[in-house]
């Protein structure tokens, strides 16, 4: 087929009627800005808590990273983050709350899908994290007890068991998180949007916020077509904040990620490669991730150097990487390639920030967006309704914490990529 310029998820997700822009002046209890997974889940649960909610999206639901990611449901934090790191960052009480939230986040996603009848190719057959080297395998073994202590439904697969689960002989043993799995992310976002509207949320697409100013005891938000006056505002834009709130923009590290989807693969390959359709993401610094799409394609991706023609480079780079790491595949053709921007933080942990009275923001999914944002949205709903005081919220509510050297911090992931790749290759070969 001809190379596609959009994402695979756009191609295989049934089209949804667009949500109309805001037109005129309205009032609400709370305005949520950004209709990705976090904004959609928060809006749904806030409406279920009895609030009058307006949700504003600059494009349409799932336009950003929520509709462009790999669709992994990962109920754990980054591999490098253990419970002691979380305790050090936010104290024992909030660390325990966050770890329990993360442990149950896979069940939250699939439970929400079932309750609202969301058709999004959901498969809950686990998420696999094999090691790419003996050293990484030892580190993963040491991490497993901490995951179990935090309540994550995980177990250990030795090298043979991991090879059987993945069909990839070159990997080492690793962790299986049973409550994880995969979805079609754009279909999930659109399903959440329908569920939110059914719960009473007034969702407006193509309504970028152009101004946000205090007004009496609340805030007035302006869009090209109208205004909303509300007593409370929640920003859920993550990396796509633009210039609206400089302190918020300065608190995340944007990282551009690329994905490819191959041609439809022979049906016989599905019997040996990821036979359970459990997605895999290994321990490389430049992670190798792989899954099946519902229509029988392999989906993989990561980062590419900041060179001209990055999308074309992504097609070549990830096709070559896939052929090298999964021997025996037919000649690979990258039928689809797309890109999106995720939001990171220096400690790889999410943030709940109060920018001003009545103006809050949740940020920093660090590549764990599907599960973490869905579960966090469940907590945000009753918190916005005043049923959960700040001290009892899952995350500490803090002021904005700008990333040091923010103007160059966004280049960090791109600049360090060659170092990561060389280190990964050395470990895999010699360790």
What is the rounded average pLDDT of the residues 220-238?
97
What is the rounded average pLDDT of the residues 189-216?
97
Token pair 């309750």 is at which residue?
115
Global pTM value: 0.93
Q: Does pLDDT of 33 surpass 50?
A: yes
First to last CA, the chain: 41
Residues 6+ apart with CB under 8 A from 265: 296, 297, 298, 329, 330
Do the beta carbons of residue 322 and residue 230 sit within 8 Å?
no
Higher pLDDT, 400 or 418: 400
Q: Does pLDDT of 365 surpass 50?
A: yes
What is the rounded average pLDDT of the residues 27-48?
97
Helices (H), 222-269: 246-249
The tens digit of pLDDT for each residue in 117-154 reads 999 999 999 999 999 999 999 999 998 988 888 888 99
Token pair 């307006």 is at which residue?
54
Q: Does pLDDT of 431 surpass 60?
A: no
What is the rounded average pLDDT of the residues 99-108?
94
In order, the DSSP letters of 387-428 are SS-GGGSSS-EE---PPTTHHHHTTHHHHHHHHHHHHHHHHH
Do the beta carbons of residue 412 and residue 367 sit within 8 Å?
no
Do the beta carbons of residue 8 and residue 179 sit within 8 Å?
no
pLDDT at residue number 84: 84
Do the beta carbons of residue 296 and residue 260 sit within 8 Å?
no
Tokens matching residue 38: 């976090």
pLDDT at residue number 3: 47
Collapse the DSSP code of 207 into the 3-class scheme (helix H, G, I; strand E, B; otherwise coil) and give the result: coil
Q: Does pLDDT of 2 surpass 50?
A: no
Q: What is 9-70+186-251+346-407's CATH number, 3.90.180.10, 1.10.580.10, 3.50.50.60, 2.160.10.10? A: 3.50.50.60
pLDDT band at residue 1, thresholds of 50, 70 and 90? very low
pLDDT at residue number 17: 94
pLDDT band at residue 40, thresholds of 50, 70 and 90? very high
Backbone angles phi, psi at 156, to 5 degrees: -105, 135
The tens digit of pLDDT for each residue in 151-186 reads 889 999 999 999 999 999 989 999 999 999 999 999
Long-range contacts of 139-148, Cβ-Cβ distance < 8 Å, separation of 24 or more: 139/283, 140/79, 140/173, 140/174, 140/175, 140/283, 141/173, 143/79, 143/82, 143/175, 144/175, 146/82, 146/83, 146/84, 147/76, 147/175, 147/177
pLDDT band at residue 54, thresholds of 50, 70 and 90? very high
Give the Cα-Cα-Cα angle 152, 378, 398 (nearest 5 degrees). Answer: 90
Token pair 């305005």 is at which residue?
31
**Residue 346 to residue 173: CA distance in whole angstroms:** 29
pLDDT at residue number 82: 75
Higher pLDDT, 343 or 381: 381
pLDDT at residue number 361: 96
Please give the share of the chain, as a percent, with pLDDT higher than 90: 76
**DSSP-derived secondary structure letter, 269:** G
- For the chain, the domains span 9-70+186-251+346-407
Q: Does pLDDT of 291 surpass 50?
A: yes
Give the Cα-Cα-Cα angle 222, 228, 234 (nearest 5 degrees). Answer: 90
What is the rounded average pLDDT of the residues 46-57?
98
Token pair 């439970």 is at which residue?
111
The tens digit of pLDDT for each residue in 405-419 reads 555 455 555 555 555
Higher pLDDT, 412 or 36: 36
pLDDT at residue number 407: 52
| Cβ neighbourhood burial of 394 (10 Å; 0-12, 13-18, 19+) | buried
Tokens matching residue 16: 């949804």
**Residue 61 to residue 18: CA distance in whole angstroms:** 9
334-344 and 359-363 as β-strands: parallel, antiparallel, unpaired? Answer: unpaired
**Residue 318 to residue 322: CA distance in whole angstroms:** 6
């Amino acid at each position: 087929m001809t190379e596609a310029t959009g994402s695979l998820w756009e191609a295989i997700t049934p089209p949804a009627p667009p949500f109309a822009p805001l037109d005129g002046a309205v009032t609400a209890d709370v305005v949520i800005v950004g209709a990705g997974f976090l904004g959609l889940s928060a809006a749904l649960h806030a409406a279920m808590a009895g609030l009058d909610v307006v949700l504003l999206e600059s494009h349409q639901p799932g336009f950003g990273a929520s509709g462009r990611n790999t669709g992994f449901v990962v109920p754990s934090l980054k591999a490098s983050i253990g419970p002691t790191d979380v305790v050090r960052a936010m104290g024992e009480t909030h660390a325990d709350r966050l770890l329990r939230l993360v442990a149950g986040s896979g069940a939250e996603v699939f439970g929400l899908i079932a309750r609202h009848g969301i058709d999004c190719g959901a498969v809950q057959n686990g998420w696999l994290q094999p090691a790419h080297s003996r050293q990484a395998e030892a580190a993963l073994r040491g991490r497993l007890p901490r995951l179990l202590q935090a309540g994550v439904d995980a177990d250990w697969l030795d090298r043979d068991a991991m090879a059987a689960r993945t069909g990839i002989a070159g990997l080492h043993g690793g962790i299986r998180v049973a409550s994880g799995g995969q979805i079609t992310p754009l279909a999930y976002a659109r399903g959440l949007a329908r569920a939110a509207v059914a719960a009473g949320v007034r969702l407006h697409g193509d309504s970028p916020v152009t101004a946000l100013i205090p007004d009496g005891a609340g805030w007035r938000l302006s869009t090209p077509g109208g205004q909303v006056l509300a007593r409370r505002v929640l920003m859920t834009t993550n990396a796509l904040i633009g210039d609206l709130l400089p302190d918020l923009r300065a608190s995340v590290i944007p990282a551009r990620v690329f994905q490819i989807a191959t041609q439809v693969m022979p049906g016989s390959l599905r019997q040996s490669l990821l036979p359970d359709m459990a997605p895999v993401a290994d321990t490389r610094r430049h992670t190798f991730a792989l899954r099946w799409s519902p229509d029988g394609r392999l989906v993989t991706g990561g980062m590419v150097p900041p060179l001209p023609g990055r999308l074309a480079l992504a097609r070549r780079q990830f096709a070559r990487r896939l052929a090298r790491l999964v021997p025996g595949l037919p000649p690979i053709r990258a039928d689809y390639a797309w890109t999106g921007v995720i939001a990171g933080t220096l400690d790889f942990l999410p943030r709940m920030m109060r920018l001003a009275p009545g103006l809050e923001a949740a940020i920093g999914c660090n590549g764990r967006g599907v599960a973490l944002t869905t579960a966090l949205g469940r907590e945000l709903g009753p918190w916005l309704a005043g049923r959960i005081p700040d001290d009892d919220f899952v995350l500490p509510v803090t002021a904005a914490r700008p990333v040091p050297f923010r103007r160059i911090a966004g280049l960090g992931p791109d600049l360090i990529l060659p170092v990561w790749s060389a280190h990964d290759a050395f470990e895999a070969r010699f360790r």
